[in-house]
Structure 1
């Protein structure tokens, strides 16, 4: 196996799901320390400088500039170490499967049913005949989101160690926890990190580049009811679950994720729980336009007011918090135009056309760009993320290390912004 494939499989085999139910601490799960230690050990073995694992499971390090590039600005890379919580993620059994066309059986799921991918589920497979794919065994997600990105960055440093003649500025690398639950690298010490621009590596197919993300907010709707015996409930009982249901019926149904695409925003009911006396519903709000996010917030507040009026008392309350903002507001500034154009040029050097997409989600860069580290988002080459059908094509995984090598070479000279 190539270096990046070997590292990727090793990282995937270390479970490290984040957990939104314990998001009051960072990291939200102890297992994220496990993968942080593995990555930090690899960095130390390669000879990276300033390798640190913080008390919050952030891994940071630096790589010195090649000869003649010492005075250039530091270029940063950021990936995340947690994997998605929406599917099974422990244990993870990575494997390599050769795709020969048609249906490819990955394994057997926890329910005993066959887990497979095919051109019917992923049309992209038609161009991958004869390729090796990294998958899990059907019982869990793989974790390519974002351990493919982790492996790419570490493998890039391995190349730079093996060939000191490869040109590059000083590099700052970070591997952060809890991206999947909206933490967004909030505790990354940017002064210690030392880079004012760079890239996250947390995107989809090879050639993808993102400098537009959603603006994001979360809403917690709480219901306080009154439980009495159902036989004597008339005129007395207030059912908290019924109140939540009335509220949900007022949230525009056509503006849910399953009915939206491209620049469409949405409301998404993440989870609901409760009984007659207490109930809770967690929503997320997404839109590329912040003004539309504010309008969605107002829609939800008005729905709460309406439900309370129907009960004649305050049964529902709502709390809304912003999570992150559209990184295009930063990355499209003239002084950062090189982030887009250098990515395009680096993809071209490996024979790949760059495709810019409006990401229907966020990256760590969605917060970091507003904190002083402007960053676009590069391919991590995962498909079917957050589920048991996830896979990462080996040729794309390896090609992205080539792309990163070309990219850092482009930063081995002063940058000229496009005004």
Structure 2
């Protein structure tokens, strides 16, 4: 089926990662950074060039497009979704992608910062990629496989389906989003306009993986109001908000309930950002757990820590704000077992063994699921996301292309 196909996924990916699309959590605009629009405009134009006449970039920076059905069957409309932004955790400016042909198993030294070395013993998935073609950045930036790999894979799958009309499928809708990395990816999605029955995000990691369970996630903001006073006359008057903030963070558990001490289905309380001065300090936390009861427990623990610390700082005042971010999509997806079952079959047809996993994070699919579009997450093939050691196998991206094509075909077969 794909034996003589000239994949475009790698060329697309190498082109996309050179565009700086880092999202900005401090921005109030949408999208949060102008570079995202540069890539999203390019994607819309490439879709139109492939014949998807309705491809558009809307006022919020979303790309919507349709690959029209080529079957007489009534097939549910499925959507493939990926995000255009890269994480603010690591620079995405001036990405220089490097292709390491026929990886030989030795450590990969990144030339722009030789201290950055990708070793198989530190990246276990790399050990199985000997002989494959590995793409990395040059050592000073992230690569952007999260999630420009997903974009490139969807685009190449569309390219394949356009060129092979003998493969029958229903209407396929595409949705490319901005600002997923800062939790705003679907804030302005118009599901009525999208018109899909089910969806899939291409935003996972290891080839063959399928994720139908995520954290429940909240953000907590603690605003501390101290009392300012001249340092020379501060005794009995000053309440230093910097010290209050530091004491709250220091009072958190040291050996548990943090990202650096947990794995599997253990949740955490993560101080993400701190802005502090003597009179006012703001701490931003991420709270994560796979159950709502666990999430509520983390909130109660954090609040108890805060209140205990405040007893040592009479006069300090605090504001406590909780913002819901996303919820575990498994509670929705369990009602539509065919959505994940068809994805597993597509992965098998691509020659891989499907492996269902839970995500210690979230995707646009979390919120889309609760908005009415059941949406599990399929592998895109990237590894070491949000870091300068991010890498991806070209062969894994090609397997993702195959998975998308097979999935479109399976929905038509089952209709």
TM-score (normalised: structure 2)? 0.95
- Any unmatched runs of 5+ in structure 2? 1-5
Q: CA RMSD in A?
A: 1.4
From 40, 45, 51, give the equivalent of 1:41: 45
Q: Any idea what the Cα deviations from partners look like across 1:317-369, whole Å, max 9, x if unmatched?
A: 22111100000010011xx1111111111111122111111100001011000
From 280, 303, 306, give the equivalent of 1:304: 306
* SS at 2:199 equivalent: strand
Q: Which residue of 2 aligns with 1:19?
A: 24
Alpha-carbon distance between aligned partners in 2 of 1:251 and 1:319, rounded to the nearest angstrom: 18
Instruction: Confirm whether residue 242 of structure 1 aligns to residue 243 of structure 2.
Output: yes
The Cα of 1:194 is off from its aligned counterpart by 0.7
* SS at 2:219 equivalent: strand
From 1, 4, 7, give the equivalent of 1:2: 7
Alpha-carbon distance between aligned partners in 1 of 2:261 and 2:363, rounded to the nearest angstrom: 22
Alpha-carbon distance between aligned partners in 2 of 1:212 and 1:379, rounded to the nearest angstrom: 14
- Any unmatched runs of 5+ in structure 1? none
From 280, 283, 286, give the equivalent of 1:284: 286
Alpha-carbon distance between aligned partners in 1 of 2:93 and 2:362, rounded to the nearest angstrom: 24
Instruction: Confirm whether residue 101 of structure 1 aligns to residue 101 of structure 2.
Output: no
Q: Which residue of 2 aligns with 1:57?
A: 61
Alpha-carbon distance between aligned partners in 2 of 1:100 and 1:155, rounded to the nearest angstrom: 27
* SS at 1:168 equivalent: coil
CA contact (8 A) 2:83 2:185 kept: no
Q: Which residue of 1 aligns with 2:374?
A: 374
Instruction: Confirm whether residue 30 of structure 1 aligns to residue 34 of structure 2.
Output: yes
Q: Any idea what the Cα deviations from partners look like across 1:166-207, whole Å, max 9, x if unmatched?
A: 121110000001100111312111111110212111000100
Report how many aligned residue pairs link the two structures: 408
TM-score (normalised: structure 1)? 0.94
User: Where does structure 1 differ by over 6 angstroms across 4 or more consecutive aligned residues?
Assistant: none
The Cα of 1:282 is off from its aligned counterpart by 0.8
Q: Which residue of 2 aligns with 1:160?
A: 161
The Cα of 1:411 is off from its aligned counterpart by 0.5
CA contact (8 A) 2:201 2:364 kept: yes
1:13-412 to 2 correspondences below 5 Å: 13-22=18-27, 24-69=28-73, 71-98=74-101, 99-109=103-113, 113-253=114-254, 254-333=256-335, 336-412=336-412
Alpha-carbon distance between aligned partners in 2 of 1:265 and 1:394, rounded to the nearest angstrom: 33
Alpha-carbon distance between aligned partners in 1 of 2:242 and 2:320, rounded to the nearest angstrom: 15
CA contact (8 A) 1:131 1:394 kept: yes
CA contact (8 A) 2:241 2:316 kept: no
CA contact (8 A) 1:184 1:365 kept: no
